[in-house]
Structure 1
Amino acid sequence: METDKNNFAYGSIPRHIINLAGPMIIAQLINVLYNVIDRVYIGRIPNVATLAMGGLGLCLPLISIIIAFANLFGMGGAPLCSIARGQGKNKEAEEIMGNSFILLIIFGIILTIIVFLFKEDLLWLFGASKSTISYANDYMGIYLLGTVFVLIGLGMNSFINSQGFAKIGMLTVLIGAIINIILDPIFIFTLGLGVKGAALATVISQFISAFWTIYFLTGKKTILKLQIKNMFLKKKYVTKIFSLGTAGFMMAITNSIVTIICNATLQTYGGDLYIAIMTIINSIREVASLPGQGMANACQPVLGYNYGAGEYNRVLQGIKFVTLTSLSMMLILWLSITIFPEMFIKIFSQNQEIINNGTSALRLYFFGFFMMAFQMAGQAVAVGLGKAKQAIFFSVFRKVIIVAPLTIILPFYIGINGVFIAEAISNFIGGGACYITMWFTIGRNLKKE
C-alpha cells in the first residue's frame, strides 16, 4: 500500500536514520558548495581577492535572512507532514505541503522587493567600507533575482526528505551545484565578470534546483503530491507552519544578527582583512557543521513519524543514537581543524597575511566545536516532535543571549581575539544548556508516555 511506503515505525531506527543521513549530508554539503565555491573562486581573483572576499562576507547576513524564510516554511511544514503521515493522514499532509509552497512564493517575492530597495544601506550598516561596498552591492544585486528559487529549492526539498526520499533530495541540490561549479570559472574569469559572475552562476543554478524540486513533487514517484487545490491558505495550517518553523527561522536570523555584529566589530578592530578572515572561517564552519547537522536533520522525519504513531520507545532510541553519532563526528572534525588550520585556510586564500592572522583566529573560534553536537541534537528533537516553544528557545539562546553580547563586550578587554573567543564560549554553554533542557522537558515526558 502507498501508506506503507517509507514507513519508519518498523525496522531498525539507526538504519532508518543512517539511510536518510548519508544522502542528506551529501545534499547539504552540495548546497553549502553553492556559496563556498563562490568564495573559493573569488579568493583567487587577481589583485582584488581580499577586498572581494570581504565584500561577499558582507552579503552573508542578507543571504542568511533569505535562508531563514526557507527554513520558516520548509522546516515548519515538513515535520508536520511526517507526523500526519505517521497518523495515516496523507490528505492533511498534502494540504500542509501545498500551503507551505504558496507561502514560500509569496514571501520570496516580498523579500526580493524589500531587500533590493534597501540593500546598499544595509550593507553599509553591516560593516562595509569604501573599498568593499562595490563588490557587496554587485553580488547582492544579482543574487536577489534568485530569491524565489532559493526559497522553493531549499524549502520544498524538506518535503522530499520528510517522505524518506533522501537520495532524490540529494539529487535536487547536486544538479544545481554541478552547474554552479561549471559556470563559476566561466563567468568569473573567462567572461571577466568577477563577483557579478559568481552571483549570476548561483542564480541560474538555484533556478534549476527549484525546477527539479517542483518536477518531483508533482510527479508519479512522490507519496505526497503538490497540487494547486492544496495551495489555498488555511489558517489552521498556516498557524502551525509558522509556529514550528519559527525555530529554523530564528536559527538563521540569529546567525545573521551575529554575523552583522561580528563584521561591524571586526571592521572597528581589524578592518577589511579580518572581515575576509571571518568570511573564510564561516565557510569552514558551514562545511564542518554538515555531518552533525545532517544527522540531526535525518532523525527528524523518523522521530516525527514514530511520535505520530505513538512509538515513544523508538523515539528515545533515535535520540540516543543521533546524539552519540553526531558527537563522534564533530569531535573528529574539531581535532582536524585544530591540528591543521593552515590547510583549511589555504583552500580559500593564498594571501600570507590572511593565513598568518587567520590560523590563531580559526583555532580560537573552533575551540569546543564538538559541543555543537548537543545543540544540533536537542534542537532537532524539538523540531521533529513538533515542540515549537522549546525549538525556538534553543535557536535564540546560544546566538542572541551568549554570542552577540560577548562579541561586543570581550574586544574591549582583550582586543580582536574576543570576537572569536565569544563563539568558543557559546559552544560549551549553549550546547550543554540546549541538550539538558531538551532531555528534561521532552525526554522525560517520552519515558512517562
Structure 2
Amino acid sequence: MEKQTKGVQLLRADPKKAIIKLSLPMMTAMLVQALYNLVDTIWVAGIGPEALAGIGLFFPIFMVILAFAGGVGVGANSLISRKVGERNKVEADKAASGAIVLVIFLGISAKFVGFLVMGPILSLTGASGETLKHAIDYANILLTSITLLMFNNVVNGILRGEGDTKRAMYAITLGAFLNMLLDPLFIYTFRLGVKGAAYATVISIAVSSAMMMNWLFIKKDTYVSTSFRNLKSTNKIIFEIFRVGIPTSFAQIIMSVSVFVLNVFNVKAGGDNGVAVFTSTWRIINFGTIPMMGIAAAVTSVTGTAFGEKNALKLRVAYLYAIRFGLLVGLCVNALVFFFAPQIALIFTYTESSRVIYEDLVKALKILSFFIPTVPFGMFTSAMFQGIGHGLKSLVVSILRTIVLHVFFSWLFVFVLQMGLNGVWLGILMGNIVAEAVTFLWGLAVSSQLKKFFDDQLRLDEAKSVSR
C-alpha cells in the first residue's frame, strides 16, 4: 500500500490550503537565507575591501554553478509532484533516485573542472594581488563541498515535490544559522580570514546534508524511497528532469546577463554613481520579492500534482489563488518600500562619501517599489509551467521579461527619450508590466487548453471502456 505522508495528503487536497501551507515554510527559509547572505557579507567586510572584492569576483561563477543545481532541483520537484498526482509512487521513487545520481555526477564533474579552470577564469577579470588571492582561496575551499551543495538543492526539490516544505525549511535554516554563528569564529577567533568564511560555509553545508541523508537513507520516512540498485529507465527520467531543469537554469543565468546590460545603461545615465544606486536598489527589490519565491515553489508542486491528477480545474484554482495571494503580499511590500524609501536609503548612504547618491536612491526605491506587485503574474505563471513539465515556456517567459522588455524599455527611455537614471527605473518597471501581462494571458490560455485536453482524454477513455 502507498504510504500517505502529510505532505502528499496536502498536495492532493484543497489547492488553496496547499498553496498557503506550502508557501509559508519556504518564505521563512528564503528570508533566513537572504539574512545569512547579508550577515556573511558584513563579517567579510570587516577583513577589508580586498576580501570583499575577492568574494564578489567568485560570486557570479558560484551562482552559475548553483543555477544548474537549482535547475535539477526544480526538475525533480516538478516530476515528483506529477507522479504524486498520478499516484505512481514507483515512478516518483525512480525520479528521486535518478535526480540524486544525476546531481552527484554533476557535482563531482563541477568540482574537478572548477579546480582546473577557476584560477585562470578569476585572473581574466583583471583582478590581481590580494583580491585575486582571496578569490582563489575562497573558491578552492568552496569547490570541495560543491557536490554536497548541489545535493542539498536537489533534495530540497525532492521534498518540495512531495509537499514536505517544512523539512526543506529546517535544512535551509539550520545551514544558514550555523553559518552565521561559525563565520566570526573562523574569520576572527581562528584568524583564518576569507578562508574562515569558506570553511564555515563548508561545515554548514555538510551538517545540512547530513540531516537530509538521515531523512532519506536512515529514517526513510519520506514519501519517496531512494534505491540505486535498479535504476531502470534512467535516460527517460533524466530527460524529464532536464526538460524542466535546463530551461530553469538558463533562466537564472539570463537574469544575470540582463543585470549586466542594465548596468551599462546605468553607467551611461549616471556614471559609477548610477551603478551604485542600481546595485543598492536592486538588492532591496530582490529582498522584497523573496516571499514570492516561496509561493512560486508551492505553485510548482501543487500545479504539478493537479496535472498528474488530470484535474485542470484544481490546477487553475491553485494558479489564480496563488496570484491573488502574491498580489496582496506584493502590494504590502510595495507600500513599505515606497513610504520608507528615505529610511531604507540611509542603510546604503551612512558615510559622507556615499551621501551623494541618497536622493537618486530614494527616487529609484519609490519607482521600483511598484515592480514588486507585478511579479506574481509572471513568476507564478513560470512556476505553473514548470509544474506541468513545460520548462521551455518558463524560459521564454524569462527571456521576454529580462532580455527583451526590461532592456528595450530602459534603452528607449535612456537613449531615445533622454530621461537619465529615472529612465532605467521606469524602463524596468514598464518592461515588467508588459511582460507580466503577456505572460499571465499565456498562462490562462494554457490552463484552458489543459482543461480541453483532459476532457477529451476522459471522453476517449469512457468510449474505450464502453466498447469493451
Q: Secondary structure at the match of 1:164?
A: coil
CA–CA distance in structure 2, aligned partners of residues 263 and 117 of structure 1 = 30
CA–CA distance in structure 2, aligned partners of residues 74 and 224 of structure 1 = 15
Distance 1:149 1:10, change over 3 A: closer
CA–CA distance in structure 1, aligned partners of residues 242 and 306 of structure 2 = 23
1:78 matched residue in structure 2: 77
1:146 maps to 2:149:
no
CA–CA distance in structure 2, aligned partners of residues 7 and 15 of structure 1 = 11
CA–CA distance in structure 2, aligned partners of residues 82 and 137 of structure 1 = 40
The answer to whether the Cα contact below 8 Å between 2:12 and 2:305 also exists between their aligned partners in 1 is no
Q: Determine which of 376, 379, 382 is the counterpart of 1:376.
A: 379
Q: Secondary structure at the match of 1:318?
A: helix
**Pairing 1:151-190 to 2, within 5 Å after superposition:** 151-190=150-189
1:438 maps to 2:443:
yes
Distance 1:188 1:230, change over 3 A: farther
**Pairing 1:352-431 to 2, within 5 Å after superposition:** 352-354=352-354, 356-357=356-357, 358-404=361-407, 413=418, 420-431=425-436
The answer to whether the Cα contact below 8 Å between 2:292 and 2:326 also exists between their aligned partners in 1 is yes
CA distances 1:276-304 after superposition (whole Å, capped 9, x unpaired)? 66554454344321211111211222221
CA–CA distance in structure 2, aligned partners of residues 246 and 279 of structure 1 = 28
1:30 matched residue in structure 2: 32
Tell me how far 1:53 sits from its aligned partner. 4.6
TM-score (norm 2): 0.83
Q: Secondary structure at the match of 2:221?
A: coil
Distance 1:230 1:400, change over 3 A: farther
CA–CA distance in structure 2, aligned partners of residues 302 and 280 of structure 1 = 34
CA distances 1:170-217 after superposition (whole Å, capped 9, x unpaired)? 111111111111012223343444444333322221222222222212
**Pairing 1:16-415 to 2, within 5 Å after superposition:** 16-43=18-45, 45=46, 48-49=48-49, 53-119=52-118, 122-123=121-122, 133=132, 136-218=135-217, 219-229=219-229, 234-262=234-262, 279-344=279-344, 350-354=350-354, 356-357=356-357, 358-404=361-407, 413=418
Distance 1:271 1:99, change over 3 A: farther
The answer to whether the Cα contact below 8 Å between 2:160 and 2:297 also exists between their aligned partners in 1 is no
Distance 1:91 1:238, change over 3 A: same
Distance 1:279 1:306, change over 3 A: same
Further displaced range: 414-423 or 183-192 = 414-423
Count how many residue pairs are aligned between Structure 1 and Structure 2.
446
Tell me how far 1:145 sits from its aligned partner. 2.9
Tell me how far 1:274 sits from its aligned partner. 6.2
Q: Secondary structure at the match of 1:228?
A: coil
CA–CA distance in structure 2, aligned partners of residues 217 and 195 of structure 1 = 33
The answer to whether the Cα contact below 8 Å between 2:243 and 2:389 also exists between their aligned partners in 1 is no
Distance 1:345 1:178, change over 3 A: farther
The answer to whether the Cα contact below 8 Å between 2:285 and 2:372 also exists between their aligned partners in 1 is no
CA–CA distance in structure 2, aligned partners of residues 281 and 136 of structure 1 = 26
Q: Secondary structure at the match of 1:229?
A: coil
Tell me how far 1:93 sits from its aligned partner. 0.9
Q: Give the percent of matched residue pairs that are identical in Structure 1 and Structure 2.
A: 26
CA–CA distance in structure 2, aligned partners of residues 63 and 422 of structure 1 = 29
Tell me how far 1:222 sits from its aligned partner. 0.7
Tell me how far 1:343 sits from its aligned partner. 4.0
The answer to whether the Cα contact below 8 Å between 1:127 and 1:264 also exists between their aligned partners in 2 is no
Distance 1:244 1:290, change over 3 A: same
The answer to whether the Cα contact below 8 Å between 2:68 and 2:246 also exists between their aligned partners in 1 is no
Q: Secondary structure at the match of 1:183?
A: helix
Query: What residue ranges of structure 1 are gaps of 5+ in the alignment?
Result: none
CA–CA distance in structure 2, aligned partners of residues 286 and 231 of structure 1 = 40
Further displaced range: 269-278 or 309-318 = 269-278
Distance 1:90 1:162, change over 3 A: same
The answer to whether the Cα contact below 8 Å between 1:74 and 1:159 also exists between their aligned partners in 2 is yes
CA–CA distance in structure 2, aligned partners of residues 24 and 406 of structure 1 = 33
TM-score (norm 1): 0.87
Q: What letter is aligned with 1:390? A: K
The answer to whether the Cα contact below 8 Å between 1:126 and 1:263 also exists between their aligned partners in 2 is no
Tell me how far 1:63 sits from its aligned partner. 2.5
The answer to whether the Cα contact below 8 Å between 2:175 and 2:205 also exists between their aligned partners in 1 is yes
CA–CA distance in structure 2, aligned partners of residues 377 and 439 of structure 1 = 12
Further displaced range: 437-446 or 340-349 = 340-349
CA–CA distance in structure 1, aligned partners of residues 116 and 285 of structure 2 = 31
Q: What letter is aligned with 1:379? A: S
Q: Secondary structure at the match of 2:144?
A: helix
Larger Cα-atom Rg: 2
Tell me how far 1:348 sits from its aligned partner. 6.7
Q: Secondary structure at the match of 2:229?
A: helix
Tell me how far 1:30 sits from its aligned partner. 2.5
